[in-house]
Structure 1
Amino acid sequence: MSESDDILVNAVSFSSGSLLREFHLLKELPDVESTNQYHVLCTSEVAERLGDTDPVINLYPVVPKENGFLQPIQTPRRIFWENVDLLRWARRIDPDLLYFPSHISNVLNFTPKIVAVRNIAPFYPSAQPNRTLRESARLRALRIATRLSVRQAKRIVFFTQATLDRVAEYIPSVTEKAVVIPHGVPEGFGPVEPDPEILASYNLPEEYLLSVSNVARYKNYLQLVEGYAKACEQSDGVPDLCLVGKVIDDGYSEELDAKIRSLGIADRVHRIGFVDHGDLPHLHSASTGFLFSSACENAPITLIEALACGSAIASSNRTSMPEICGEAALYFDPYRPDSIADSIGTLATEADTRDALEDAALDRAKEFSWKDSARKTCSVFDEVIREGV
């Protein structure tokens, strides 16, 4: 690299998951490469959450907090931002490189670009049955935008090999420019002595199985609670089930409540809702085990958090989940309640299996490092900038 290179990061369209990743990367990048200047375009909300940063990180809160139109779901407005407003900032900063960590780049600028593929929903239509016409149109638009973005990009960052392989089925050319850079373990996650006050604040039962995910159809909560009900019928001693996560799909949330009532397990399933991120290590450490039933994920940080806390995990066997957990989990078919029930029964009743999974989880978590992610990211930045010189 030259003595100082300017890298423009478009963080305006960050979702919570991408913000978490880039928050950790931005903390590590100055230690790995201190000569670059990073110019981060973001909402005022993101700027507040990032707080004080290293002097080489320059935050530009270009969108007011109350203006939420640039969330990923608002695809047309987002494309307008990245192809019109962003150009003005690019001319002002004159960067050596544009980095798009939230999936879609612009197509009207010739500065070298790197794109991180984050939203894989357009490439897994079967994971989202019963879509509305609006949702189907949005997924098609995202698929088209992804094709245009990766065509323009000098490098394409994937977080798992599974996601790269899937996208390559639709866009074979991505393999020529792809690099896989895994996530790290979020700060503060590891085994802890559970704080009784934190547990009491969520009214948790004494023993419980934990599941952490937003409430959306592809998370397969209907199948999870049906599998849980079967496990309770088949085995004594299955703990209560605690579901943590904010509601993304109100209609699906209502279906979930109705399903729980119809199965007669309303007294055994606790919908906790949103939990402060800093409290999750306490919930993990106090749980009997962790369940993850999603049918479609890119690189779920939720699973990495569970690994880092030493949770005994039973997970969906779809998309990237086996790549994340390796041998540190039991696996089930997220569409088959019988398969889910078998894993829950094993997790709940076989102490030796739980102990082995907990040890394996801690070992597996050591393979995820934000410093390694930052080092690999800087290496990709370096390669692309040198190619453009």
Structure 2
Amino acid sequence: MKIAIEAQRIFRCDKHGMDFVVLEVLRELQKQKDGNMYYILVAPGEDCCLEESENLKIIELHCPTYPLWEQVALPRIVSQLKVDLLHCTSNTAPLWCNVPLVLTLHDIIYLEPRQHRSPSLYQEMGWHYRRLVVPRILKKCKKIITVSNFECTRIREALHLPKEQVTAVYNGYNTHFTPKDILDWNVIQKYIPKDNFLFFLGNTDPKKNAARTLKAYSLYLKVSTLKRPLLIADLKEAYIDKLLQQEGITEIKEYLYYPGYIANQDLASLYNAAFAFLYPSLRESFGIPMLEAMACGTPIITSNTSAIPEVAGEGAILINPLDPQEIADAILQLENDDSFYQQQSAYGLKRVKQFSWRYTAEAYVQIYNSILNKS
């Protein structure tokens, strides 16, 4: 079979969640001996992180904007290649396509009510684009893949789709996330001068709960004798200052480190150096960073909402993300109870064994086969 897979953003330098999902699955598909030929459709970029192989060909499509890339260039090349199936991996797809379509719909957060606009113009435009396109393509999809049973149910109920059209396929995590006996200080000190810090991976998306996380950290500092610093990824100083002023906690800024974007290859060193990983999101369809931290043996503090308990499991520290005091208390419990800390570290290492990119890739191939064998 000839399978086209949309991976538009994987060559950009500042990759994020969905980019890493498709990149890791493609690497696993290269290892498969399934007889398929995979055509990977990408936009040009500086980080050529995937190489061609016997069963995988990379095709770069040049286009000035994402909507034109997806709605014009993508269906045109699919038609020229005469592929058997197109898999779009990042929530949206062409409104017109002449082959069976598979869509990975990571979540439908953008179809749910929101409290305010995104502070990022890029995110705001993307929100409007998805709201316009997604409802119009769903009925054309032979299969919709999402990343958790929670999100699977949400999509079926919210969009009134048949049960058999939507299926859950779990994400995995990269195997370079593993416990390290010796820390790489050259990497760590690019971001923070010492280890045993608290680590928060956020961005300007309101669902990441940055304001309450900072409030929780301020409550922690009032009680802790160690006063561990907080490393914050993906937030700029101006935005952090705004949140600190909003919460009335500007005095904690001296304990914060905010280097901005952290390269994926550096994350394993930082997870290993961290005392704990904070992931108190309001809403997640999966949550790969939880797996990465747990795979490094770092305890996580995360939310009791959405798909997070499904992924983290019942043995994880699950808090109410709307309650900063509960977040602070969880940090203090880890800090003051070494037995509990070691228990959480061991739990995470055991839990992540249930997830693998190989499992994800194998599930994708089964879906491709089921669609084309019926055609």
Matches within 5 A, 1:184-195: 184-192=172-180, 193-195=182-184
TM-score (norm 2): 0.90
Q: What is the Cα deviation at residue 260 of structure 1?
A: 7.6
Q: CA deviation at 1:183?
A: 1.0
Query: Residues 204-283 of structure 1: matches in 2 within 5 Å?
Result: 204-247=193-236, 252-258=239-245, 262-283=249-270
Structure 1 residue matching 2:48: 3-state secondary structure: helix
- Pick closer, same or farther for the CA change 1:183–1:113 going to 2, 3 Å: same
Conserved? CA contact 1:156–1:179, under 8 Å: yes
Give the deviation of 1:262 after TM superposition. 3.1
1:345 corresponds, among 318, 332, 344, to: 332
Against the structure 1 CA distance between its residues 342 and 47, is the aligned structure 2 distance closer, same or farther, given a 3 Å change threshold?
Answer: closer
Alignment partner, residue 384 of structure 1: 371
- Structure 2: gaps (5+ residues): none
Q: Which residue number in structure 2 is paired with residue 73 of structure 1?
A: none
TM, length-normalised to structure 1: 0.87
Separation in 2, partners of 1:145, 1:267 = 44
Q: What's the counterpart of residue 93 of structure 1?
A: 81
Q: Secondary structure at 2:61's aligned position in 1? A: strand
One-letter amino acid of the counterpart of residue 298, structure 1? S
Q: CA deviation at 1:329?
A: 2.1
Aligned 1:1-389 pairs, distance under 5 A: 5-12=1-8, 16-45=16-45, 48-50=48-50, 52-63=51-62, 67=64, 69-70=65-66, 78=67, 80-126=68-114, 128-129=115-116, 139=127, 141-192=129-180, 193-247=182-236, 252-258=239-245, 262-388=249-375
Change in 2 beyond 3 A, CA 1:16/1:201: closer
Are the counterparts in 2 of residues 289 and 313 from structure 1 also a CA contact under 8 Å?
Answer: yes
User: 2: distance between equivalents of 1:313 and 1:152?
Assistant: 39
Deviations 1:273-293 (A, max 9, x none): 222212211111121111112
Distance in 1 (alpha carbons) for counterparts of 2:269 and 2:87: 35
Q: Which moved more, 1:39-48 or 1:296-305?
A: 39-48
8 Å contact from structure 1 (residues 215, 253) kept in 2: no
Note the alpha carbon deviations across 1:21-77, whole angstroms, 9 max, x for none. Answer: 111111111333441111111111177122x2322111111127xx5x32xxxxxxx
Percent identity among equivalent residues?
22
- For 1:54 and 1:246, the matched residues in 2 are separated by 37
CA–CA separation in structure 2 for the residues paired with 1:197 and 1:13: 29
Q: Distance in 1 between matches of 2:133 and 2:173?
A: 30
Give deviations 1:178-210, integer Å, cap 9, x for gaps.
121111111411111211222223233343111
Q: Is the 8 Å Cα contact of residues 30 and 56 (structure 1) preserved in structure 2? A: yes
Does structure 2 retain, via aligned residues, the 8 Å contact 1:10–1:101? yes
| Residues in 1 aligned to 2:196 and 2:238: alpha-carbon distance in whole angstroms | 30
Q: Once structures 1 and 2 are overlaid, which stretch shifts more, 228-237 or 259-268?
A: 259-268
Pair 1:236–1:25, CA change in 2 (3 A): same
The farther-off stretch of 192-201 and 281-290 is 192-201
The residue aligned with 1:75 is: none
Equivalents in 1 of 2:117, 2:2: separation in Å? 45
RMSD: 2.5
Contact 1:185/1:369, CA 8 A, preserved across alignment = yes
- Change in Cα spacing, 1:86 to 1:228, as seen in structure 2 (3 Å) is same
CA change 1:181–1:22 in 2 (3 A) is: same
Q: 1:221: Cα distance to partner?
A: 1.1
Tell me the CA shift for residue 91 of structure 1.
1.9
Contact 1:238–1:349 under 8 Å retained in 2: no
Paired residue total: 369
Secondary structure at 2:45's aligned position in 1? helix
Return the letter of the residue paired with 1:210: F
Distance 2:224 2:48 in 1: 48
Give the Cα–Cα distance (whole angstroms) in 2 for the partners of residues 87 and 106 of structure 1.
Answer: 7
SS at match of 1:264: helix
> 1:231 and 1:246 mapped to 2: Cα distance?
21
Which letter does structure 2 place at the counterpart of 1:96? D
User: Aligned equivalents of 1:49 and 1:96: distance in 2?
Assistant: 26
| Structure with more contact order per residue of length (Cα contacts < 8 Å, sep ≥ 6) | 1
3-state SS of 1:106 partner: coil
> Structure 1's 148 and 352: CA in aligned 2 closer, same or farther, altered over 3 A?
same
- Pairwise CA distance, 1:369: 0.7
- Which sections of structure 1, spanning at least 5 residues, go unmatched? 71-77
Equivalent residue letter for 1:8: A
Aligned with 2:334: secondary structure? helix
Post-superposition CA distance 1:300-324 (Å, at most 9, x none): 2211111111111101222221111
Letter of the structure 2 residue corresponding to residue 9 of structure 1: I
